[in-house]
Amino acid sequence: MRRTHILPIATVVAATMLTAGCGSTAAPDTDHLPDTAPVATASPTPTDDPAQATYGDRVLSDRGNLVKEIGQLAGMTLGADSDVTVAQFVVTDIVVDPVCSSAYAEPSKNGHLVGIHLNVETTPELAQDEIGTVSFSEWAWQAFDANGTRVNDPVGNAIWCMDSGDQLPIDIGPGQSVSGWVILDLPTDHGTVAYVPWAPTGWEWAY
């Protein structure tokens, strides 16, 4: 498998694994959110590197993560030696101090709640994986403040912010398409968030 653009599911889900006195930032306009097209019906793009055409140029951060822009597609394969795509996802928005929807929301513990909105699609081939699900739980994320220092506790009070109907499902099985929020509790209003589910490296976005 070409590890230059997508990561293997064996690396991404090696173990089973998705708030508040919040600010008044409005939720993103869903009419302008990019969609993740079903993998099974995607048309091949003429290029020497189909992965680059689908996922963009390979750029690694100093932390070893694939650097992504908001709205840029990312993907997972069945294994390190496999070209079988089992999931594609895109961060459609990152909102600082989002409006919490849960009746049990609590103020930020670290300074700012940060909402990450994702669209996720899995393929039927995900069932071939030993675990058979992917997860974007807040426990699978790391964060770095404005100075690049890793945040020790990026969860804080974030888990109480969103009602379950607004959260991204914790476990996503084969052949599913879902959208929702993951909330983190961070000390600065800009920095970097990284999706690193039980693996040394993953993907990261600046906010």
The SS3 call for residue 126 is helix
Query: Looking at domain 7-28+55-206, which CATH architecture does it have?
Result: Sandwich (2.60)
Distance from the Cα of residue 135 to its chain's centroid: 9
Q: Encode the chain (207 residues) as per-residue pLDDT tens digits.
A: 333 356 655 444 333 332 333 333 444 444 444 454 444 444 444 556 778 889 999 999 999 999 999 999 999 999 877 889 999 999 999 999 999 999 999 999 999 999 999 999 999 999 999 999 999 999 999 999 999 999 999 999 999 999 999 999 999 999 999 999 999 999 999 999 999 987 789 999 999
Distance CA 140, CA 158 (A): 13
Q: Which residues lie below 8 Å from residue 149, measured CB to CB, with a gap of 6+? A: none
Query: Residue 35's pLDDT is what?
Result: 54
Query: Residue 32's pLDDT is what?
Result: 40
Distance from the Cα of residue 74 to its chain's centroid: 9
Query: Residue 42's pLDDT is what?
Result: 43
Query: Residue 118's pLDDT is what?
Result: 98
Beta bridge partners of 67: 204
Query: Residue 107's pLDDT is what?
Result: 97
Distance from the Cα of residue 110 to its chain's centroid: 21
Using alpha carbons, select from 180, 185, 182 the residue that is nearest to residue 113.
185
